[in-house]
Amino acid sequence: MSRWATLSLAATLLVTSAAVAQTPKSGGIMRAWQRDSPGSASIHEEATYSTNFPFMGVFSNLVLYKQDVAQNSMDSIVPELATSWSWSADNKDLTFKTRAGVKWHDGKPFTANDVKCTFDKVRDLTPDKFRKNPRKAWYSNVRDITVQGDNEVTFHLERPQPALLALLASGYSPVYPCHASAQVQRTAPIGTGPFKFVSFKQNESITLARNPDYWKPGRPFLDGIEYTIVTNRSTAVLGFIAGKFDMTFPLEITPPILRDVHAQAPAAQCVTAPLNVSTNLIVNRDKPPFDNADVRRAMALTIDRKAFVAILSEGEADIGGTMLPGPEGVWGMSKEMLATMTGYGPDIAANRAQARKIMEGLGYGPNKMLKVKISTRNIATYRDPAVILIDHLKEIFIEGELDVVETSVWFAKLARKDYAAGLNLTGNAVDDPDQAFYENYSCGSERNVTGYCNKDLEKAFDAQSQETDPAKRKAMVWEIDRQLQNDIARPIILHDRKATCTGPALKGYTQMVNSVYNGYRFDELWLDR
Amino acid sequence: MGAYLVRRFGLMLLTLFGISVIIFVMLRLVPGNIVDILFDSAGMVNPADKARIEAELGLDRSLPVQYATWIGGLLHGDLGFSYVSEKSAWDEIAPRIPVSARLAGTALLFAMAIGIPLGVISAVRQNTALDYLLRVMSLSGLSVPSFWLGLLVLMGFVALFGTMPIYTQSPRGLGEAVLLVLVPAATVGFRSSALIMRLTRSAMLEVLRQDYIRTAHAKGAWPRAVNYRHALRNAMLPVVTVIGMEAAFLAGGLIVTETVFNIPGLARFLVESIRNRDYPIVQNLVMLIAFLVVTINFTVDLLYAALDPRIRVGG
């Protein structure tokens, strides 16, 4: 745990407890910086927290990660539209009692059938379909959803999956009304959340207003929220310093900018935390010579993770495996365990000597370099590490050429497997192995960009997913993570950290430390002005 | 005059037609379409869903059919709908027109109000300390990049006044609302004023050496009247050309200023729409800007005749 990590966690706890100590005041409009114009207002259709941040307040979930607890875990899940939940004896049926008397923003009553409609739509079973459905795979274990009256709904599973609750608690799992089409939810969403949708002006602003009929008595405290879309980060940060915004876009403040904020706005409260987004090396294992496991192993051995961390984040980022490392991550391996995996050993020179030996054995050397295009997306957070990667590959006779891919065609290119090697970023919405493993490493998953497929390991995915004992499950998860790294499935280079800053008047915000997708319900936020 | 107007109008239509073809083809030559962008924010691509959305948006039809559909709609006042917001394209474009028009208009007024008088002064006081100072000012106006100047202005405001004039949904009072227009306009107008000033100066210097100016001075005419009534009027032709060009630039080229000051105007919207491959928005916005530019050029041509009676547009 780095000094910054400790300080950040302490700061989070301090900020939280300080806010709790004061008596909240009602009223006021919170003004927040929104970094870009989200693709739509429909959280189910998007895979970026540019949508969750402004629109999570419009909706409610069945269950949700407790908003004033910084670390998401099974223990921090609380009911929202559900009042309670229970598992069947065989752990294959998850039943929720739902809240009575809740109204949608258009005045219609919420019933358990809305839950069924929502997740049937996510499972692609309804005639009115989402344009995009990035989290359909989350519910692949759900066999059926049935309702018993207006206030009870059951998820019937193919096999036990305790983590289904974690997936349902994510900011990515709001309940939509049966009576609103997918198109309505994209443009003028209807929810049961603390704030009603008022307007979404592309590239300009998003406005929410207090929902007077919110099911939680006395909440929200705020009269509304104004999100101003500012694409230029310099302008936005100056705006925050000048008091134009009560809050920056979450985890968007880099270490150098954070220094500026501290210097120019000493009253601002800033918390640095991991995004649970990993920077990783992707290798097309179908394309020669990368179909040779030895070449992939050599590539993993040459990575100097500490250099990446020092250059890209001034030492702030963390080194870990697939799962976010502790103390913020719940499932991450210890440093000692990490050090035993391919390419994670502290002696970089020895790792590289080993990698060079492999490459020489394959006929490569200083006079016969392996030429390869390193593809990456045309965004600085992708390009910068790709350049460092090229430098590291040179050490083992691989001459990389940067292939900057227009961002709009990046995922299409990956889906076509039209690359040899590349650098990618992968976000985990929920700090739970079910989300990370199935989404990124299971055979046939649309988000499994390297095409890594290990049927035996998939059985291990299922085994850990069914395990109800957290300690046993953790051990299984570590073993899977170790194998993923040793198989060079998608070598994880680093887990980045950035900061969120709030103005002195804003109270009640807790920066979540192991997911950047789940903490924006905002019904407990208030302004002390 | 009538025949000239008809010919110019015909040329305008031809130009607009050419632009419509160019923008339509170029947009489709750029890699990726709106559906790729939509899936980009979902972090995955599902080929079946992609094909379904392409069909839904009419992107699976042949290019001539897509072009005919767009132009047919345009001629009937139907601009289509934004692929991103799913709102009518006109409803997306219309609120941004006054924002950009206000900024461009104020910037142009600022540029003319500063550039023309200072250009005259600089020419009349040629090779004096004041002339040198003004020339340095104009040179810096042309050299300083707009984004840098904009950020500098914002930083200056924050440091000096603890606030800054960037767009937010609810400006605090009239003062802030006025600043939101004046400061960005002055920032962008600074460059235009420098250009106008340099051109006014050189045109004035040429005119001031003419015999009729010397004659006017010799017969004892008031110097200010000579400079402004006789010399400036005759020096205005190239200046009007440049003002026209600047007006055309300001009609759609304010991307940097709009970005730095976070102004929700047409230029920023156009760039974002190009990034999103939002064809209906881009095509219609480009046509709107093209229409403005050809109209400004036409107006400038007519102004020539008004300024210089020797020019006869009918010829």
Judged on CB neighbours under 10 Å (0-12, 13-18, 19+), A507 is buried
Amino acid at B36: D
| CA torsion through residues A418, A424, A428, A432, sign | positive
Is B162 an interface residue toward A (CB < 8 Å)? yes
- Please judge whether B39 and A205 are an interchain contact, meaning their C-beta atoms are less than 8 angstroms apart: no
Q: What is the DSSP letter of A340?
A: T
Q: How far is CA A139 from the centre of its chain?
A: 17
Q: What is the pLDDT of residue A506?
A: 98
Q: With an 8 Å Cβ cutoff, is A187 touching chain B?
A: yes
Locate B204 and state its tokens.
């004035």
pLDDT score, position A10: 54
Q: pLDDT value at position A239?
A: 93
In angstroms, the CA A441 to CA A443 distance is 7
Nearest CA to A186 out of B61, B262, B270, B56 is that of: B56
A241 in a structural domain: yes
Nearest residue of B to residue A202, measured between CA atoms: B85
pLDDT of res. B229: 85
Is position A13 within any domain?
no
Mutate to test the interface with A, among B169, B268, B270, B275 (most CBs of A within 10 A): B169
User: Cβ–Cβ of B42/A46 closer than 8 Å?
Assistant: yes
Both A168 and A300 in one domain: the answer is no
Which residue from A345, A262, A54 is spatially nearest to A174, judged by alpha carbons? Answer: A54
How far is the C-alpha of A41 from the C-alpha of A32, rounded, in Å? 17
Instruction: In whole angstroms, give the CA distance from residue A180 to residue A119.
Output: 14
**Residue span of the structural domain in which A383 resides:** 274-496
Identify whether A119 is part of a domain. yes
B268 touching A (Cβ < 8 Å): yes
Question: Which of A129, A230, A408 is facing B32, going by the closest CB pair?
Answer: A408
Same domain, residue pair A252 and A312: no
Interface residue of A51, A186, A206, A232 to substitute, partner B, most B CBs within 10 Å: A232
Percent of chain B with pLDDT over 70: 97
Q: Are residues A326 and A436 in the same domain?
A: yes
Q: A334 and A231 in one domain? A: no
Q: Out of B32, B42, B168, name the one closest to residue A228 (CB).
A: B168
Contact between A220 and A214 under an 8 Å Cβ cutoff? The reply is yes
Contact B228/A at CB under 8 A: no
A235 contact B CB<8A: yes
Tokens read off for B286: 């480009």
**Residues A282 and A353 grouped into a single domain:** yes
pLDDT at A1: 42
Q: Do B268 and A203 touch (CB under 8 A)?
A: yes
Q: Which helix (H) or strand (E) holds A497?
A: strand A492-502
Q: Which residues of chain B neighbour A129 with C-beta distances below 8 Å?
A: 49, 52
Q: Which residue of A has its CA nearest to B172?
A: A244
> Chain B contact for A226, CB < 8 A?
yes
Taking the model in full, what pTM does it have? 0.88
Q: How confident is the model at residue B315 (pLDDT cuts 50, 70, 90)?
A: very low
Residue A424: inside a domain, yes or no? yes
Q: Which of A186, A228, A407 sits opposite B86 (nearest CB)?
A: A186
Cβ atoms B248, B292 nearer than 8 A: yes
Facing residues of A372 across strands? A400
- Write the Ramachandran bin of A343: left for phi over 0, alpha for psi from -120 to 50, otherwise beta: left
CB A487 within 8 A of CB A452: yes
Residue A16 belongs to some domain of the structure: no
Nearest in space to B263 (alpha carbons), one of A440, A205, A296: A205
Q: Which amino acid is at A272?
A: T
- pLDDT for residue A318: 96
Least Cα separation, residue A468 to chain B (angstroms): 31
Q: How many domains does chain A have?
A: 2
Read off the CATH number of the domain in which A334 is found: 3.10.105.10
- Strand A398-405 versus strand A421-427 pairing type: unpaired
Q: Following DSSP, what letter does each residue of A237-297 receive, concatenated?
A: HHHHHTTS-SBPPTT-B-HHHHHHHHHH-TT-EEEEEEEEEEEEEEE-TTSTTTTSHHHHH
What is d(CA A248, CA A503) in angstroms, rounded to the nearest whole number?
Answer: 9
d(CA A479, CA A458): 13
CATH number assigned to the domain comprising residue A251: 3.40.190.10
Closest residue in chain A to residue B266, using alpha carbons only: A203
Instruction: Chain B: give the shortest CA distance to residue A526, in Å.
Output: 19
Q: Tokens 């590539």 label which residue?
A: A299
Inter-axis angle of helices A455-466 and A470-486, to 10 degrees? Answer: 160
Please, which residues 402-441 of chain A have a Cβ atom closer than 8 Å to chain B? 406-412, 415, 427
Of B43, B52, B158, the CB nearest to A411: B43
- With an 8 Å Cβ cutoff, are B264 and A234 in contact? no
Distances (CA, A) of A371 to A356, A366, A416, A489, B20: 15, 12, 21, 21, 43
Please name the member of A47, A231, A238 whose beta carbon is closest to the beta carbon of B164: A238
**What does each C-alpha distance from A201 to A116, A307, A378, B87, B92 come to in angstroms?**
31, 42, 26, 10, 8
Name the residue facing A134 among B43, B155, B157 (closest C-beta): B43
Q: Which structural domains are found in chain B, ordered by start?
A: 2-93 (no CATH), 97-263 (1.10.3720.10)
DSSP string across B20-50: HHHHHHHHHHSS--HHHHHHHTTT---HHHH
Give yes or no: residues A422 and A516 share one domain: no
Query: Would you say residue A18 lies in a domain?
Result: no
Which residue type, as a one-letter code, is found at position B252? Answer: G
CB B33 within 8 A of CB B59: yes
CA–CA separation, B180 vs B160, rounded Å? 17
The CA-to-CA distance between both ends of chain B, in Å, stands at 8
CB distance from A367 to chain B under 8 Å? no
Q: What percent of chain B has pLDDT over 90?
A: 46
Under 8 Å between Cβ of A163 and A431: no
User: Can you tell me which residue has the tokens 């998820």?
Assistant: A155
Please tell me which residue of chain B has the smallest CA distance to A427. B43
| Tens digit of each residue's pLDDT, chain A (529 residues) | 444 445 555 555 555 554 456 799 999 999 999 998 898 999 999 988 999 999 999 999 999 999 999 999 999 999 999 999 999 999 999 999 999 999 999 999 999 999 999 999 999 999 999 988 889 889 999 999 999 999 999 999 999 999 999 999 999 999 999 999 999 999 999 999 999 999 999 889 999 999 999 999 999 999 999 999 998 888 999 999 999 999 999 999 999 999 999 999 999 999 999 999 999 999 999 999 999 999 999 999 999 999 999 999 999 999 999 999 999 999 999 999 999 999 999 999 999 999 999 999 999 999 999 999 999 998 888 999 999 999 999 999 999 999 998 877 888 888 888 999 999 999 999 999 999 999 999 998 888 888 899 999 999 999 999 999 999 999 999 999 999 999 999 999 999 999 999 999 999 999 999 999 999 999 999 999 8
Residues A454, A512, single domain; the answer is: no
Q: Residue A331: which of A87, A62, A94, A515 has the closest Cα?
A: A515
Q: Is residue A402 part of a domain?
A: yes
Please judge whether B264 and A447 are an interchain contact, meaning their C-beta atoms are less than 8 angstroms apart.
no
Minimal Cα–Cα distance from A99 to chain B, Å?
Answer: 31
Strands (E), A43-150: 63-65, 77-79, 82-87, 93-98, 142-147
- For residues A168 and A301, membership in a common domain is answered with no
> Are the C-beta atoms of A329 and A276 separated by less than 8 Å?
yes
User: Do residues A194 and A214 touch, judged by C-beta distance below 8 A?
Assistant: yes
Of B53, B164, B169, the CB nearest to A131: B53
Spacing of C-alpha A372 from chain mean position:
30
* B42 interaction partners in chain A (CB closer than 8 Å): 39, 45-47, 132-134
CB < 8 Å from A in window 32-51 of B? 32, 36-47, 49
In chain A, the residue whose alpha carbon lies closest to the alpha carbon of B30 is A406
Q: Could you give the CA distance from residue B2 to residue B22 in angstroms, rounded to a whole number? A: 30
* Segment 114-153 of chain A within 8 Å of chain B by CB: 129, 131-134
Kindly state whether residues A280 and A222 are assigned to the same domain: no
Integer Cα distance of A514 and A251 in angstroms = 12
Is A134 within 8 Å of B268 when comparing Cβ atoms?
A: no
Beta carbons of B121 and B134 less than 8 angstroms apart: yes
Specify the pLDDT at position B172.
73
| Minimum-distance CB partner of A132 among B31, B38, B47 | B38
CA separation for the pair A414, B181 (Å, rounded)? 45
Q: Are residues A157 and A219 in the same domain?
A: yes
What is the C-alpha separation between A209 and A201, in angstroms, rounded?
15
Interface contact B277-A200, CB threshold 8 A: no
Give me the helix-helix angle, B233-252 and B173-208, nearest 10°: 140
Q: Are residues A228 and A287 in the same domain?
A: no
Question: Quick one: which of A460, A38, A357 has its CA closest to B41?
Answer: A38
Asked if residue A9 belongs to a domain, the reply is no
Query: Which residues of B are less than 8 Å from A33 in CB distance?
Result: none
Q: Does B86 touch chain A (CB under 8 A)?
A: yes
Same-domain pairing of A248 and A301:
no
Decide if pLDDT at B166 tops 70.
yes
Residue of B245, B156, B141, B155 whose CA lies nearest to B188: B141
What are the chain B neighbours of A407 within 8 Å (beta carbons)? Answer: 40
For residues A404 and A382, is the Cβ–Cβ distance under 8 A? no
Nearest CA in chain A to B33: A408
Give the confidence band of B275 by pLDDT, cuts at 50, 70, 90.
confident
HSE-up of residue B153 (Cα within 13 Å, Cβ side):
22
DSSP for chain B reads -HHHHHHHHHHHHHHHHHHHHHHHHHHHHSS--HHHHHHHTTT---HHHHHHHHHHTTTTS-HHHHHHHHHHHHHTT---B-TTT-SBHHHHHTTHHHHHHHHHHHHHHHHHHHHHHHHHHHHHTTTSHHHHHHHHHHHHHHHS-HHHHHHHHHHHHHHHHS------SS-SHHHHHHHHHHHHHHHHHHHHHHHHHHHHHHHHHHHHTSHHHHHHHHTT--HHHIIIIIIIHHHHHHHHHHHHHHHHHHHH--HHHHHHTT---HHHHHHHHHHTT-HHHHHHHHHHHHHHHHHHHHHHHHHHHHH-TT--TT-
Task: Give the A window 17-76 contacts with B, CB below 8 Å.
Answer: 29, 31, 37-40, 45-48, 50-51
Contact: A411, B40; criterion CB under 8 Å: yes
